[in-house]
């Protein structure tokens, strides 16, 4: 049976389409969305878990080397991998929040897949991470449907990163495809995420229209200008109706990170000075919460960086704040800080004020955030999103009849207003923010695998 699989930065979801009727599949209890998170006793646990518990072998010699190293490391540390050692979704988040220091936790590995300059062993490990998550979702889908699921269409952004170009996209798609094959999908195809969202919107159209799809997801914003409607519905070759695309790594994660940086990090020393009047280096505060930048996270959580933080603490005119940054580093609390920024973003969609709460284990911080402050904090990513909308319009050379906004972050009213500034005279509609991409992928899967 074919399914549509949205392996998203924020969440994963799957759906099936039968005779044009799309049914989302529950993948975590009754939930049709499972957060794109994984938690394990150590990073090495993941590779051995795939091999020993799921009977999933490495895809190449490099993967075999990674596995051997992981098994050796686990034995040295006395770790025996068990079938419940790797947690996913809400379970993973709960375990991390319970004791951040004692577990390996990763959110949104999709954000790392197109990163350039990584070692081959790192790329092989990312493949293991993705494979473990995909195998988990596939098993849950099969349990829900009561039958085997082995064909899929996976969504992908226009560009996985804003830099790296085709090489970045090829690398990322290659990781996803190898991971999906290892997870048990023998037929794997890809579809652009905004095109998939458009396919779902097209099912509701009674006349042909030129549609600008703006998909603001957790990791990327993607725009596609498309001819859609009854004349195009059901066609496998849609090349003539795909007019323009734009996309960049800017999405919900960036909104959350920027909110955390501008509204929370002053409590950790951002903007403070040394006793000699010199400003504290911004890079330490940014790297601590840049959860979508593997190099930044590696630099901040490196063992020798703690020595540098200690030096800054000694020199600080506000040492109590730098002590919090050291605590964040020691206890790996960056994900928790960004998560509270995400909660702020969600709350401020419906309210003008929100009191954020940061749990630093030995201290509780309450920080007031207003909707206006958050909009100011995310002005940089917001401007990037506006430029992507303009780029798609300019590249297509035409104005859309309608703008279809989707993606979890598109629920934020200030982003709708930002898009409206670019195309003030075009109606904006929205559908299922969290399900339109998945539904479109399911429709495409039914069409191409029939």
Provide the pLDDT for residue 350: 85
From residue 263, alpha-carbon distances to 242, 267, 340, 359, 370 in Å are: 40, 9, 11, 16, 10
For residues 450 and 447, give the distance between their C-alpha atoms in angstroms, rounded to a whole number: 6
Q: Region 79-103: what's the mean pLDDT? A: 93
pTM beyond cutoff 0.85: yes
The pLDDT of residue 185: 98
Which ranges in 348-426 belong to alpha helices (H)? 371-377, 379-396, 413-422
Least-confidence region, from 160-164, 165-169, 296-300: 160-164
Q: What is the location of CATH 3.30.420.40 in the chain?
A: 2-185, 207-251+379-430
Q: Choose which CATH entry (3.30.420.40, 3.40.50.970, 1.10.10.10, 3.40.50.300) describes domain 207-251+379-430.
A: 3.30.420.40
Beta strand residue intervals within 165-310, DSSP E: 187-192, 209-216, 221-228, 242-248
- CATH superfamily membership of 2-185: ATPase, nucleotide binding domain (3.30.420.40)
Per-residue b or e along 367-396, where b marks 16 or more CB atoms closer than 10 Å to that residue's CB: bebebebbbebbeebbebbbebbebbbeeb
The predicted model gives 312-330 an average pLDDT of 96
Q: What is the per-residue pLDDT across 175-202, written as a single tens digit (0 to 9) for each?
A: 999 999 999 999 999 999 999 999 999 9
Rounded mean pLDDT, 364-380: 96
Confidence of residue 130 (pLDDT cuts 50, 70, 90): very high
Which pLDDT value is given to residue 108? Answer: 87
Q: Could you report the per-residue pLDDT of 268-292, keeping only the tens digit for each? A: 999 999 999 999 999 999 999 999 8
């Amino acid at each position: 049976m074919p399914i549509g699989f949205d392996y998203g930065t924020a969440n994963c979801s799957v759906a099936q389409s039968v005779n044009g009727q799309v049914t989302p599949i529950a993948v975590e209890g009754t939930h049709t969305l499972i957060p794109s998170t994984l938690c394990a006793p150590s990073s090495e646990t993941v590779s051995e878990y795939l091999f020993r518990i799921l009977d999933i072998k490495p895809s190449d010699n490099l993967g075999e080397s990674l596995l051997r190293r992981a098994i050796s490391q686990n034995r040295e540390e006395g770790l025996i991998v068990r079938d419940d050692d790797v947690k996913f979704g809400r379970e993973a988040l709960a375990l991390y929040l319970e004791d951040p220091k004692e577990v390996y936790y990763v959110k949104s590995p999709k954000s790392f897949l197109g990163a350039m300059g990584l070692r081959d062993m790192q790329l092989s490990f990312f493949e293991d991470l993705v494979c473990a998550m995909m195998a988990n979702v596939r098993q849950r889908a099969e349990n829900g449907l009561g039958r085997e699921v082995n064909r899929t269409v996976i969504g992908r952004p226009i560009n996985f990163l804003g830099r790296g170009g085709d090489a970045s996209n090829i690398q990322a798609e290659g990781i996803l495809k190898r991971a999906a094959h290892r997870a048990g999908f023998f037929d794997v195809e890809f579809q652009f995420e905004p095109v998939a969202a458009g396919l779902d919107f097209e099912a509701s159209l009674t006349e042909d229209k030129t549609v600008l799809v703006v998909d603001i997801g957790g990791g990327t914003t993607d725009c596609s200008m498309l001819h859609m409607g009854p004349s195009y519905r059901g066609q496998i070759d849609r090349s003539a109706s795909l007019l323009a695309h734009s996309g960049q790594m800017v999405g919900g994660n960036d909104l959350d990170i920027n909110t955390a940086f501008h509204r929370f990090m002053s409590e950790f020393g951002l903007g403070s000075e040394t006793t000699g009047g010199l400003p504290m280096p911004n890079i330490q505060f940014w790297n601590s919460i840049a959860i979508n930048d593997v190099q930044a996270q590696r630099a901040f959580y490196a063992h020798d960086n703690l020595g540098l933080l200690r030096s800054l603490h000694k020199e600080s005119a506000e040492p109590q704040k730098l002590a919090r940054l050291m605590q964040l580093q020691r206890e790996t609390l960056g994900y928790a800080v960004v998560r509270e920024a995400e909660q702020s973003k969600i709350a401020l969609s419906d309210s003008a004020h929100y009191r954020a709460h940061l749990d630093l284990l030995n201290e509780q911080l309450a920080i007031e955030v207003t909707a206006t402050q958050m909009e100011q904090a995310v002005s940089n990513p917001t401007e990037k999103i506006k430029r992507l909308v303009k780029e798609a319009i300019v590249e297509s050379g035409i104005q859309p009849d309608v703008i279809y906004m989707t993606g979890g972050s598109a629920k934020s009213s200030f982003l709708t207003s930002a898009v409206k500034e670019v195309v003030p005279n075009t109606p904006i509609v929205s559908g299922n923010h969290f399900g339109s991409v998945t539904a479109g992928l399911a429709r495409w899967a039914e069409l191409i695998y029939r």
